Structure 1
Amino acid sequence: MELRHLRCFIAVAEELHFARAADKLHIEQSPLSRAIKELEEELGVRLFDRTTRSTRLTRAGKLFLEHVPRVFAALDQARGSVRAAAAGYQDQLRIALSDGITPPRFIALLAQCRQDEPEVDIRLYEVPLSQQIRGLHDDLYDVGFAQSANVGDGILAEAAWSDPLVVAVPARHPLLMHKRIPLDEVLRYPLVMCDPQLCEGYGRQIARVLRAVDVEPLVAEEVASLDLMLALVAAGYALALVGSSQVAACRNADVVGRPLAGRSPMLTTYLLRRDAEPSETLSRFIDRVSPISAEALLTEEPSHTSDITKEINS
C-alpha cells in the first residue's frame, strides 16, 4: 500500500465521483480507477459500490475513511517535528483547539509559554471536538482545549476557565433598553449560531441554556467561527450568545454585550488530555493554565468586558 493509493481513496470518498476526483488530483480517470482497484485487492474488500449513476462508500469504506486521514496527520506532524528539531527546538507541544477558544486568555497562556520555555515548539491545530478526542487517543495531540467535558473514557477534562455568557446585540437595537436581558426576550429575535459539528462543545452549553425556556429559537444562520458570528451581529443580521471576552476581543463598536437576566450562565472551557502520566513539558504547561487564566480575568481588555462584569455583579 502506497500513499498514492490513500490519496486516491480520500479524493473519491470526498467527491463520490471518479471523474471529479481525478480532476481534483490532476490525473486521468483510468490510473485513479486502477489505484482504487489495487487498494481494494490488497485490503480484500470493496471500498465503493459503483454503478453508472452513483458511487457510494461501502461499510468497509466508511470505516477505512475514519482511519486514513490520521495517516496523513501523523506524517505532517513527523515533518513538523523534524523541522522543529532542525530549527533548534528541544521539545514540542501539540495543542488542539475546538469551539473557538476565548482569545485573551489563550493568548496570555501562549505568551507565558514562549517567555518561560522558548526552546519548546508549540503547534496549534483547530479541529472539531470529535477529531480532537480521537487525536488525543492516537497521540496526535498532547493537550487540547474545548467547551465540553463529555469526552468519554481515557481522556481527562479539567475546567480551565469560565466566561460569563452574554447576548451580543447590534448597536441601537431595542433590546439595549434592558441592562440585563430576559432570555425569552432574546428569543423573540433571530439568532446566529455556530455549526454544531464544528463547535460541538459550545453548542451543547448553549443548548442547556436554551432549555430553560419553552421556546424554539429562530436560527438565522449557522456559521463556522465565532468571528463570523459577531460580524453578522455587527451587521444587524441577528443576535448571538457568546462569552463576554469574545465581545471584548472583537473590539467592534457595533456589537454590545449584555448579560442575561437572573443568574448569569457561564461558558466553561476545559483542558483535555490523555488519562496518563504527562511528560515534564506537558506538566509545566498544565501548571501555567490556572494562574494565567486568573490573571487574564483581571487584565482583560477594557470597556466591553469591564462594563459587562459590572452589570453581572450588580
Structure 2
Amino acid sequence: MTNPGHPSVILLGVSPSTPIRGLACLLARQRAEEPDTPVLVQEAPQRILFQGLIRGAFHVGLADATMLPAGLSSLPLLQEDLVVALPRRSPLLAYASVPASAIRDYPLIQWCPDTHEFLYQHVSALLGEHGSVSRTVKSSALMACLVGAGYGIGVAPRTSIERPREWGILMRPLQEGTSSLRTSLCWQKELQSGSVERFIQRACSAFPPLRQPHQPRHLDSPKF
C-alpha cells in the first residue's frame, strides 16, 4: 500500500455508524485545491477503523471519538440528534418528544452490532435492556421500510432517513438530552504528512465549530 508517511493518496475510513453530512463538500474542496492528492474513501466498522488508523491502513477516519484509542488524535466536526422513527398510527406520536421509558414498550428495529457497533451501543445504552428487538438492520433504508410496515420502531440519526413520509413513517425527537451522535476526524499522531495535515486543515475550515468542547476519553490500549 501507499507509504502512510508520504501518501500520494489519502486513505479515509468512514464508520457506517457516524453521520457524514458535509463530507461531500470537503471532498470536493480537496479535489479543487489539491487535485494531485486524491482521497480514497472506504467504509469500515468503527473497531476496524481505529485498528486501521493505528496500523497505518488508514491515514484519517470519520468516527465517534468518545472512546478514542491511545495514540490517536481527533477533531470534532459535527453533531446530530437521534430521533425515533414511528409508523403513522403509532400511539407514541402523541408525544412531542418521546421518553426512552415509552420506547421500551414497543418492538425495536435495532442496528446490526457488527456493522454499526457504536450506534448499536449508543441506542442500547439509551434504552437500557430492551426485551423486544424484532429485527436488526444494516441500513437506514431497511429500517424505514420495516418501521413503515409496522414491524416496530427505530432510533436513528435525524438525517439518515431521507424523505420519511415517503416511507410511511414520522419522526419524533427523543426526550433525553444526551440523544445525539458526534462525528470526529481521527488520525494517528505519529503518521502525519504534509498532505494529511492540509486535509485536516481543510476539514477545520469546512465544518463550523461545535459549540460544546469535546474531550475524548482515551483508552490505555486498544482492544481489537
- Name the TM-score class by shorter chain: 0.7 to 0.9
Return the offset for 1:148: 4.2
Q: Is the aligned partner of 1:99 residue 2:16?
A: yes
- Counterparts of 1:268 and 1:216 in 2: how far apart (Å)? 24
8 Å contact 2:85–2:153 — kept in the other structure?
Answer: yes
Secondary structure, aligned partner of 1:104: coil
Query: Paired residue for 2:116, among 186, 192, 199?
Result: 199
The answer on whether the counterparts of 1:234 and 1:252 sit within 8 Å (CA) in structure 2 is no
Q: Which amino acid aligns with 2:190?
A: A
Q: From the superposition, tell whether residues 142 and 125 of structure 1 become closer, same or farther in structure 2 (CA, over 3 Å).
A: same
Structure 1: which amino acid aligns with 2:175? A
Could you say which residue in structure 1 is the equivalent of 2:156? 242
User: What percentage of residue pairs aligned between the two structures are identical?
Assistant: 26
Shift of 1:97: 1.0
Q: Residue 274 of structure 1: CA displacement? A: 0.6
Matched with 2:125 is 208
SS in 2 for 1:162: strand
Q: Which residue of 285, 308, 313 corresponds with 2:199?
A: 285
> Does residue 164 in structure 1 map to residue 164 in structure 2?
no
Q: Highest Rg: 1 or 2?
A: 1
The answer on 1:251 being equivalent to 2:163 is yes
CA contact (8 A) 1:160 1:268 kept: yes
TM-score by length of 1: 0.58
Alignment partners' CA distance in 2, 1:120 and 1:231: 39
CA 242–149 in structure 1, closer or farther in 2 if over 3 Å, else same:
same
* Partner-residue secondary structure (3-state), 2:67: coil
**Superposition pairs of residues 112-151 of structure 1, within 5 angstroms:** 112-151=29-68
Larger helix percent: 1
Compute the TM-score of the two structures, normalised by the length of structure 2: 0.79
Aligned residues: 204
Aligned-partner SS, 1:180: coil
* 1:195-236 superposed Cα distances (whole Å, 9 cap, x missing partner): 11221222232233224xxx5342111122333223322333
2:185 maps to which of 268, 271, 275: 271
In structure 2, relative to structure 1, the CA distance for the partners of 1:167 and 1:293 (3 Å cut) is: farther
Q: Residues 264, 140 of structure 1: CA spacing in aligned structure 2 closer, same or farther, 3 A cutoff?
A: closer
More strand, by proportion: 2
Q: Deviations over 1:135-170 (max 9, x none)?
A: 112211111112243232222233221101111122
Q: Amino acid of the residue matched to residue 181 of structure 2?
A: L
Structure 2: runs of 5 or more not aligned? 210-224
Counterpart-to-counterpart distance in 1, 2:22 and 2:152: 27
Compared CA separation, residues 183 and 107, structure 1 to 2 (3 A): same
Q: Aligned partners of 1:223 and 1:262: how far apart in 2?
A: 24
Instruction: Tell me by how many angstroms 1:124 deviates.
Output: 1.1
**Kept in 2: contact 1:99–1:201 (CA 8 A):** no
CA distance in 2 between partners of 1:143 and 1:219 (Å): 34
Distance 1:232 1:148 in 2: 30
Q: Distance in 1 between matches of 2:47 and 2:190?
A: 20
Structure 1 stretches lacking a partner, 5+ long: 1-73, 79-89, 296-314
Runs of 4+ in 1 over 4 A off after TM superposition: none
Distance in 1 between residues matched to 2:18 and 2:28, nearest whole Å: 15
Distance 1:235 1:106, change over 3 A: farther
